[in-house]
Amino acid sequence: MSVKLCSSDNKEFAVDMKIATQSTLIRNLLDDVGETDEAIPLPNVTGKVLEKIIEYCTHHMDDPPALNEEYDDLPKRSDDIEPWDEKFIDVDQELLFEILLASNYMDIKPLLDLGCKTVANMIRNKTAEEIRKMFNIVDDFTEEEREQIRKENEWAEDH
């Protein structure tokens, strides 16, 4: 049994039910409307990103479900990325953030975690200035605001 998914740029994908229902959004939608021949619209996901998400879900379709009551309470690590996942998520920054947004929208927690771990690894041991440069973030603080932030966070500085 398969389901049709339609991206924001009107690309349609026929996806096995076991793959598609790794998304809580799609699973809940199918529970509500039942089986349908109509394509499920995903207005927040482009075809390029949906293709990557389908690739990820296909690879992980036989993984045991990690979504139980304790899942959100477990301590998270960023150094436990599987080799296949590491290669999968090794994409340009724009696509990485599109995958993050889409996995959040589609509610695919393991993929969202993978994206977050990847970003965490990117910024680990970087200064605020290095992070701003990496993500093209404009520093619009005045010198007075910077000084106030330093004072408020002195406790966090390495001494």
What are the residues whose beta carbons fall under 8 Å from the beta carbon of 103, sequence distance 6 or more?
Answer: 53, 111, 112, 115
**Taking the model in full, what pTM does it have?**
0.81
Q: Give the H or E element holding residue 99.
A: helix 93-105
Is the pLDDT score of 11 beyond 60? yes
Is the pLDDT score of 70 beyond 60? no
Q: What is the pLDDT of residues 88-141, one digit of tens each?
A: 999 999 999 999 999 999 999 999 999 999 999 999 888 888 888 888 888 888
Q: What is the pLDDT of residue 157?
A: 74
